[in-house]
Structure 1
Amino acid sequence: MKNNTEYSLKGDAFGLLGGMLWGIDTVLIGIVLAMSPLKNYVIIAPLVATFLHDFCSTIWLLIYTGFQKNLKLFFSSFKTRGAYVVMLAAIFGGPLGMTGYVQAIHYIGAGNTAIISAAYPAFGALLGRIFLKERLNRLGIFGLTLTVAATIVLGTVSGGGNQNSMIGFAFAIMCVVGWGSESVISSFGMREMLPDIALQIRQMTSAIVYLVVILPLFKGYRLVLNTLMNQPTILLIAITALAGSISYLMYYRSIKYIGPTIAMGLNISFSAWTVVFGFFAGSDFSILKIVIAIIIILGCVLTAGKPQDFMEQISKFKRE
């Protein structure tokens, strides 16, 4: 029983840490899109930024996998069915989800995008209930409902008269569908492999699909080369990809430990962290936004179903 509790609490901690790091990733992507040469391209800049983000992430993860001495395990995983299930999840999460996410950031900003896309656990929970027969307890349902409701309120107070808001909203919904589907599909694949290996396959698949399919469709190779030649921009993309890679590592481990529904409910805290980190990056600030952000994080903890045990685990980490 104790081992099961510790296993669950690790999943909770990984989920929240992944959300915090994705908040950093989101703010940094917004900064990248405002830098030269990407700022001069409306349509293809988010696609190029996403490709370079996932490509750099693939490199970071290969280095990590090498240090963990899991390269042989990584290559042998392609003999399993789970690897191809993860590849399918990668298409939903990368080319569909991340494209929608970064395009939405371009049109409506990092804060609003994070807020809207934070609804993806609700879609994922619906899929989880249909395909995985997962059920949240009453406290978990309350926590997830509180989180989604708070993100909606935060979205209304963060609104504005941006003429591109509908386009941005559509891309954010595309992200919701992609990420919610990815979480559920990847949980099937990770039944046969380590979450770290699954993530390596995910990022590599996403980068390849962008390189071979999406960039040629939008004639984005030239902008890729121009961005690679711009040292400040590619350096920031690499740093952003590092934060994103660690975030994904935490998220995938959380899915493995506690299942996609609860993992998504915890990961949704990135919308609140984006508001916090965005303030330090010069974004608009209000007390109301911070209060709602705190409510979002509280809802994420409640989604785990055992907030008292979770806080005990946090205290344990601090003592260590």
Structure 2
Amino acid sequence: MDQDTQLLLQGKDLTYAKKGIGIGLLAGAAWGLDGVLMGMVLGLAPFTNNMSIFAAPLVGACLHDGFSTLWLFIHNVINGKWRDYARTLKTRPAKMIILAAILGGPIGMSGNLLGIYFAGASYTAAITAAYPAIGAILGSIFLKEKISRRVWGGIILAIIGSFIVGMVPPEGSAYPHFYLGIGLAAVAAVGWAIEGVMSTYGMDLVDSDIAIGIREATSFLVYIFAILPLFGGVAYQILSDSFTTPSGWYIALIGLVGATSILSWYRAMNMTGVGRAMGLNVTFALWSVFFGWLLNNLQVTPNLIIGVVIISLGTIFTIGNPKDLVNLRSR
């Protein structure tokens, strides 16, 4: 390969790497907004009828993933990819993506929304922000991804900052089941970490847009046919009532935000690798504080400011120099 051709390919790889970093940051911002908005909606009727402390947030998760599935399908129709659903489902990588969907959707998303319901959005974000470290370790073991010391340091800083942001317990009795929420948020972190590794493996042969469409559809179907029936008529009553109140339609719009986030996350993992994409996505803890302050009167305290600074530094270290990624891809 002559020198001019090699420089041209490196330039394309650098542009690709920079684009992946931007998409990873978008995923974090959108997910931070998604969590804050879902926390606000779960405080509205019919999710506050006290019929079941677990059914209400799980119905919210079902609606969220259902509408996200719809938005992603529309996206793929517009881009002429809708026929790829059937073709992809026949392949072995699709089976891996479906399994990843169960771990990240019904397990991860349920843990996340139950955490938000019981402990609040910013606290849940602080706990679930630990998932990049878990995912990076699993990625290095199973996907043989090389993670530099700088990227490791960035991930660790971002996680430390997230804990500083969220680990001052709330005052008052707004969250009587606070520690239950923290535990469920930890379940979400593990589920998302495993999902990231498994879905990245599957996306070696599957378009990321189709992969995330299958992921959300799988999650929604598991909610409808396996999880909500566990709560009997209570869950379906809340589901039905949600469409007679503004809450259900709010979630329809939030589902668009969530679809944007997870679509961006899958693309970023495919473009930059599991460790780097997760390190960028972890900024959702920072964004949840910002959007909580902007939209939900979240009190800005010194620990929030310190945590935000540390998360920002960790993000800078995680992003690093895009040329490093080009060098890694060229080996």
Does 1:299 pair with 2:314? yes
Q: Answer yes or no: is the 8 Å Cα contact 1:121–1:265 preserved in 2.
A: yes
Does 1:154 pair with 2:165? yes
Q: CA deviation at 1:209?
A: 0.3
The one of 178, 190, 195 equivalent to 2:203 is 190
The one of 139, 149, 159 equivalent to 1:128 is 139
Query: 1:207 maps to which residue?
Result: 220
**Structure 2: tracts of 5 or more residues without a match:** 1-9, 326-331
Query: 2:3 maps to which residue?
Result: none
Q: CA deviation at 1:17?
A: 0.7
Aligned length: 309
What whole-Å deviation, never above 9, does each CA across 1:22-56 have from its counterpart, x for those lacking one?
11100000011001011123221110000000001
Q: 2: distance between equivalents of 1:217 and 1:104? A: 19
Where does structure 1 differ by over 6 angstroms across 4 or more consecutive aligned residues?
307-310
Larger helix percent:
1
Q: 1: distance between equivalents of 2:178 and 2:112? A: 14
Higher Rg? 2
What whole-Å deviation, never above 9, does each CA across 1:128-181 have from its counterpart, x for those lacking one?
122112221121111111111111222333555754222111101100111001
Q: 2: distance between equivalents of 1:122 and 1:309? A: 20
Query: 1:20 maps to which residue?
Result: 29
Matched residue of 1:284: which SS? coil
Q: Answer yes or no: is the 8 Å Cα contact 2:165–2:306 preserved in 1.
A: no
Does 1:227 pair with 2:242? yes
Which amino acid letter does the alignment assign opposite residue 310 of structure 2? I
Which amino acid letter does the alignment assign opposite residue 247 of structure 2? T
TM-score (norm 1): 0.92
Q: 1: distance between equivalents of 2:46 and 2:82? A: 35
Q: Answer yes or no: is the 8 Å Cα contact 1:262–1:304 preserved in 2.
A: yes
Q: CA deviation at 1:11?
A: 1.2
The one of 90, 93, 96 equivalent to 2:101 is 90
Q: 2: distance between equivalents of 1:50 and 1:35? A: 15
Does 1:284 pair with 2:317? no
Mark the CA change 1:141 to 1:60 in structure 2 (over 3 Å): closer, same or farther.
same
Q: 2: distance between equivalents of 1:9 and 1:158? A: 38
Q: Answer yes or no: is the 8 Å Cα contact 1:17–1:247 preserved in 2.
A: yes
The one of 2, 7, 15 equivalent to 2:11 is 2
Choose 20-29 or 149-158, whichever is displaced more: 149-158
TM-score (norm 2): 0.89
Q: 1: distance between equivalents of 2:57 and 2:122? A: 16
Q: 1: distance between equivalents of 2:198 and 2:224? A: 23
Does 1:274 pair with 2:285? no
Which amino acid letter does the alignment assign opposite residue 178 of structure 1? G
**Structure 1: tracts of 5 or more residues without a match:** 311-320
- Indicate the percent of aligned positions where both proteins have the same amino acid: 40
Q: 1: distance between equivalents of 2:130 and 2:64? A: 23
Q: Answer yes or no: is the 8 Å Cα contact 1:228–1:234 preserved in 2.
A: yes
Q: CA deviation at 1:75?
A: 1.9
Mark the CA change 1:3 to 1:121 in structure 2 (over 3 Å): closer, same or farther.
same
Q: Answer yes or no: is the 8 Å Cα contact 2:93–2:203 preserved in 1.
A: yes
